[in-house]
Amino acid sequence: MLDIVYSSQFKRDFKKAKKLPFEDLKQLFDVISVLEKNKTLDQKYKDHLLTGNWNQFRECHLKADWLLIYQIQNNELQLARLGSHSELF
C-alpha cells in the first residue's frame, strides 16, 4: 500500500467538499482506496495524465465536473487538489 500525503490545498478543498452529499464523499473515499492500493481506476473515472503546469500529475473525474488531481511517486499517493474544472484550472 502507498502512503497518503495530503497537500495543504487538498485539505482546504476537502473541507469545502465535506458539505457535499454522503454519496459523493463515499465515491471519493472509494477512489482513494483503489489508488492507495496502486490499482487501476475503472474507466468511468476518465483517469489521465495532465499537461502544462500539472504535467507530473494525473486527474480523475469523480463526477462530470468534480475532479481529483493526484500523483503517485516514491511509494506515496500525493493528493494535490479536489474540485470543479473552474476551481482547479
- Given this model, what pLDDT does residue 82 score? 98
Q: Give me the number of domains the chain comprises.
A: 1
Residues 41, 27, 88: CA angle, nearest 5 degrees = 80
- Given this model, what pLDDT does residue 35 score? 98
CA atoms within 13 A on the CB side of 49: 4
CATH number of the domain encompassing residue 18: 3.30.2310.20
The per-residue pLDDT string of the chain (89 residues; one tens digit each, 9 = 90 and over) reads: 999 999 999 999 999 999 999 999 999 999 999 999 999 999 999 999 999 999 999 999 999 999 999 999 999 999 999 999 999 98
Active site residue 48: no
Phi first, then psi, for residue 61 (nearest 5°) are -95, 110
Domain span including residue 84: 3-88
Q: Which of 30, 48, 85, 87 is catalytic?
A: 85
Residues 30 and 26: their CA atoms lie apart, in Å, by 6
- Given this model, what pLDDT does residue 50 score? 98
